[in-house]
Structure 1
Amino acid sequence: MEIRLLNPVDAEKYWALRLEALMNNPEAFASSYEEAITRENPIEQTARNFQTEGNYTFGAFEDHELIGMVTLLQESPIKIRHKANIFAMYVTPTKQGQSVGKALLTEAINKAKTFDYIEKINLTVTAGNEKAKNLYTRLGFKVFGYEEKALKINGEYYDDEQMVLHLK
């Protein structure tokens, strides 16, 4: 398995995996599959995102196939520049439980540590997603908040937990 920063050439593979993630785990993402498939030029938008300063998306590859992804997004306003956020964490189901998520998240954390001004990393996880919460906890994240009814999907509510990893 190879973990690396994604670039514009990877946009099509990323978008396909993103749609899979939205379809398989709608409760884990604020975006919906239905909204995503109506986006205009999503692959071009994705390619641009990969070149945006402060936006780092890592991919896990096995035999040139993208099997997992995570995005580290730095905050840019001066007052919150000391924070970064984890978004769009996903590993394809057939590769879950094989430390792909841990490798991806470790890479994102290590990237954040290369910036001396980033002091903490925040993320949000669905409260019922025990596998993800266990991974985040093993890597040092701690819960600092809880939002009831954070998402509503087909009339069903999902709660979210906010987690933080202090780097300094």
Structure 2
Amino acid sequence: MTTFDANGEWTIRLLDAADADAYQAIRVAAAIHDPASIHADAAEIAALDSEAIQRQISPGDAQRVLGAFIAGELVGVAALRRNVLARTRHRATVQGVFTRPECRGRGVARGLMQAVLDEAAKLPGLASLELAVHAENAPAKALYQAFGFRRVGLIPGAVMLDGRCLDEVQMQRPLVFSSAAAAPAGVPGDDDYALVEATPDVDTYRRLRAESGLSPKTEEAARRGLAGTLFAVLLRHGGETVGMGRLIGDGGGFYQVVDIAVLPAHQGRGLGKRIMAAIRGHIDRELPVSAYISLIADGDARHLYAQFGFEPTAPRSVGMALFKR
């Protein structure tokens, strides 16, 4: 299996024993650059002998390790490791997703995640994918949400780094698709619309904003902004994405609801309310007590937001904004 990116910039394939040295080197780099996301430190990884590394990457029924290459150099990795016990072999863990910092922003991580799903679809009886992600790693969480992973738990103090206890978010994705190209399962409503917990891609995001009457965003602004998504939902109808909503913030004290958008042809059907209900559910489940959640209400939209507990801040405080032109 070899996957090519649309521009021919990178390729993705299964790693084997011959890739042991390159894999060990990139795992050491991961431990150095993203220490909060790697349980082993760089010295522990570097100390492993070649046979141990080969065992970690050799493809088999219980594991598939994928590598992304640019000009023959290994620049990104992701592993799929299946449970081997009879009662849990329907589950597999996605581990070690890492792209070298100088190669980020080229779609490598997304390509690796799609390749992981492709491999998972080939394993008979596999029903669930799971992963753990550093709780403060917003870009990684947004990536996993875009591929249908949902938060299912939190392990406080899962990693000890330089004397600090760091939390890990547990995420899970049911394998309900019948082929690698199928979209993540949606949450059906009483009609033909479905909500999916996922972050829009750049093109979809810009289209929805423009066509629903929100201010346009440049491609660069959209790319940077979407990487910081904490939670997002997409509204789909007949294979088309017709609405969205996002929650952004610092992950602790302050958050903002943004990008509540429904295409004009689908407005007036309570779909904005459905999007807000999903966001409010995430707020209730995941945000800490004392969190401050704000939004900007345009016109009559304030009536929608009031249904979900949002209140005007005036005259106590007045909203102010700066729009860079």
After TM superposition, the score normalised by the length of structure 2 is: 0.50
**Residue by residue, what CA displacement relative to the aligned partner does 1:69-121 show, whole Å, maximum 9, x if unpaired?**
00000111110011010011100001112110010011011111112300010
Partner of 2:79: 71
User: Whose strand fraction is larger, Structure 1's or Structure 2's?
Assistant: 1
Q: CA deviation at 1:44?
A: 2.4
Query: Residue 31 of structure 2 aligns to which amino acid in structure 1?
Result: L
Query: Residue 97 of structure 1 aligns to which amino acid in structure 2?
Result: G
- 2:87 is paired with a residue whose SS is helix
Once the two structures are superposed, the pairs formed by residues 1-168 of structure 1 within 5 Å of their partners are 1-39=10-48, 41=49, 43-51=50-58, 53=60, 54-168=62-176
| Alpha-carbon distance in 2 for matches of 1:78, 1:156 | 37
**Taking CA–CA contacts closer than 8 Å with sequence separation of 6 or more, which of the two structures ends up with the larger relative contact order?**
1
Query: Residue 11 of structure 1 aligns to which amino acid in structure 2?
Result: A
Structure 2: runs of 5 or more not aligned: 1-9, 177-325
Q: CA deviation at 1:48?
A: 2.6
- 1:79 is paired with a residue whose SS is coil
Partner of 2:217: none
| Alpha-carbon distance in 2 for matches of 1:17, 1:3 | 15
> After TM superposition, where is structure 1 displaced by more than 3 Å over at least 4 residues in a row?
none
User: Whose helix fraction is larger, Structure 1's or Structure 2's?
Assistant: 1
Identity rate of aligned residues, in percent? 28
Alpha carbons 2:91, 2:126 under 8 Å: kept: yes
| Alpha-carbon distance in 2 for matches of 1:77, 1:52 | 18
Q: CA deviation at 1:52?
A: 5.3
Structure with larger Rg: 2
**Residue by residue, what CA displacement relative to the aligned partner does 1:3-50 show, whole Å, maximum 9, x if unpaired?**
0000111111111111000111111011111322333x1x32112332
Query: Residue 56 of structure 2 aligns to which amino acid in structure 1?
Result: N
| Alpha-carbon distance in 2 for matches of 1:160, 1:2 | 30
Structure 1: runs of 5 or more not aligned: none
Corresponding pairs, count: 166
